[in-house]
Amino acid sequence: MRTSIATVSLSGSLTEKLTAASRAGFDGVEIFENDLLASPLSPREVRARCADLGLTVDLYQPLRDIEAVPEGEFGRNLRRARHKFELMGELGADTVLVCSSVSPSAVDDDALAARQLSELASLAADFGIRVAYEALAWGRHVSTYDHAWRIVEAAGHPALGTCLDSFHILSRGSDPKGIEDIPGEKIFFLQLADAPLLAMDVLQWSRHYRCFPGQGGFDVAGLVRHVLRTGYDGPLSLEVFNDVFRQAEAGPTAVDARRSLLMLQEAVGVAELPAPVVPTGVAFAELVTPDAEPVSALLGALGFARTARHRSKPVDLWELGEARILVNTGPAARRDGTGLAAIGLESPDPRAAARRAEALLAPVLPRRRAPEDVPLDAVAAPDGTELFFCATGRAPELPDWLADFAAVPHEPAPSPARIDHLALVQPWHQYDEAALFHRAVLGLHAQDSVDVADPYGLLRSRAVTDAGGRVRIALGVGAAPADDTLHAQHIALAVDDVVAAARAFRAAGGAPLPIPGNYHDDLAARYEFPDGELETYRELGILYDRDAGGAFRHCYTRTVGRVFFELVERDPGYRGYGAQNAPVRLAAQHAGRPAR
């Protein structure tokens, strides 16, 4: 199906919005009147610019408070409409959106609304234009799609149809099944938006918190299925009002929007994409650093052994059981300190995983490699983290990244471990995009979003995971961009005995994150522990959590650059990440950060 996006969904000038929409692969645009009024381009020049970019102008939105008003006011509305229809001829738009009135002068009279909309449609038809009547969720007298359809049906004009908007329908809790009673040819336009499930005024909800399909809590795919059953063959168009999107760069936002529509089309069966290839584990995490000494000291204290060196790059492999960390000191090393730059994901079919990622507009990364290096497929996540699709030592016909490394003498690691989860802090404007990306591209399941108090506000976090919990990635965004401790990423290592691991870390010279005594005093009030257990947790800075599936014991290292490690002991049934302990960890990290 054709795809479209409203210019209000993107930031920048009208020209910048059109360029971003075209580059992202949209077929058309809805042009908001304010975007046109603020543009130095004339309507004819906008039309030419769209044609150059391969875009059609699918909808124009210049008319408000048209129907069910006193005759004198309606006469003025028709005069205004005539002017707009003449402009639309120059713009190349053949469908105009008319939202249900919110005017105090509008009256509750469906017959009057139908008659006046019919007159408007007659005038529009003279210009070759169709009128799409939409029920605003906060309309004065018409606020539901079925009510708007009854008025359109009563008007009975061929140039008058309805516009369906997923936000206006789903935010009111209306049953979208009734859409199937509307003839497809009378649905002139379909606007789509998702939203988080919030309890607030619907107008404020609409104006500030809409998001792209798949990023919120609405069943947008279910609504679209009902629309398609009517025979509707118009575009799927995104109309998203969102404060974050309007401040972010238009290009990446448009790509995120297009990805959401691709995923939606796949869900409703109108587009076929390469099937998801869900990763089965974490092959490695790669740290880049301008100074390997602090990282090496931390890894050594954790029990890692330096086992191999890349044959052609300044990259060392450190291993602790199944956990593998790459330390890269090459040109890619960050100037702002140590950071987590790449993740290797075990994949049942690396090439198929890469095809899926590319089809969903993930940037494919060129490999800077020597001719003898193993070819690996990699894409960039929204925050720039590189994701490699790996098949570690599984089959001769699959590339094994370990073949690029030559073993170095080392002592065996003292205890087994594996990567339990990775926590990646996202740029503030890419949090929703990141959650959708990991779901769509990697086929991971998104858990509920949680808000965690930090010293400066709230940290939002949402984990994505596979069904078996072999891949867990926690995506977070903080409220205080000036505080580096809130932007640190971390690697959680699963161990069999966190008490033993914490003692060994200290004995090896490791610096654990100090936990305030008040925290452990509170633990004593919340849980009962065997004699001596709580005292051990207090001594070693171990935190504790419990859910219906079991217990979770964990502790943290101090931060090196923008990375720290977590040691975790997870009962098999525990599904969380110790979120209730996060405020204590964040405060402790803030208290321990270097003075500025």
Q: In this prediction, what percent of the chain has a pLDDT beyond 70? A: 95
Q: Tell me, what's the pLDDT at 481?
A: 47
Closest CA to 97 of 14, 41, 163: 163
Average model confidence (pLDDT) for the chain?
A: 92
Q: Tell me, what's the pLDDT at 485?
A: 47
Measured between alpha carbons, how far is 213 from 260 in angstroms, rounded to an integer? Answer: 6
Measured between alpha carbons, how far is 452 from 339 in angstroms, rounded to an integer? Answer: 23
Amino acid found at 537: Y
Structure tokens at 504: 């060994």
- For 148-161, the DSSP string reads HHHHHHHH--TTEE
Q: Which domains, ranges and CATH numbers included, belong to the chain?
A: 3-268 (3.20.20.150), 281-407 (3.10.180.10), 418-591 (3.10.180.10)
Q: What is the pLDDT of residues 418-428, one digit of tens each?
A: 999 999 988 87
Q: What is the pLDDT of residues 128-186, one digit of tens each?
A: 999 999 999 999 999 999 999 999 999 999 999 999 999 999 999 999 999 999 999 99
- DSSP-derived letter for residue 332 is T
Q: What is the pLDDT of residues 522-558, one digit of tens each?
A: 999 999 999 999 999 999 999 999 999 999 999 999 9
pLDDT band for position 413 (50/70/90)? Answer: low
Structure tokens at 464: 């994505």
484 has a pLDDT exceeding 60:
no
73 has a pLDDT exceeding 90:
yes
Backbone angles phi, psi at 133, to 5 degrees: -95, 125
486 has a pLDDT exceeding 60:
no
Q: Are 164 and 129 in contact (CB under 8 A)?
A: no
62 C-beta neighbours (distance < 10 Å), count: 22
37 has a pLDDT exceeding 90:
yes
Structure tokens at 588: 């402790």
Ranges 259-273, 474-488, 542-556: which has the least confidence: 474-488
Q: Are 182 and 149 in contact (CB under 8 A)?
A: yes
More confident residue, 590 or 305: 305
Q: In this prediction, what percent of the chain has a pLDDT beyond 90? A: 79
Backbone angles phi, psi at 211, to 5 degrees: -150, 180
487 has a pLDDT exceeding 70:
no
Continuous H helices in 38-109: 43-53, 71-91
Backbone angles phi, psi at 318, to 5 degrees: -115, 135
Q: What is the pLDDT of residues 214-246, one digit of tens each?
A: 999 899 999 999 999 999 999 999 999 887 777
Structure tokens at 453: 């108090």
Ranges 213-217, 463-467, 577-581, 591-595: which has the least confidence: 591-595
Measured between alpha carbons, how far is 294 from 365 in angstroms, rounded to an integer? Answer: 29
Backbone angles phi, psi at 347, to 5 degrees: -130, 135
Q: Tell me, what's the pLDDT at 595?
A: 45
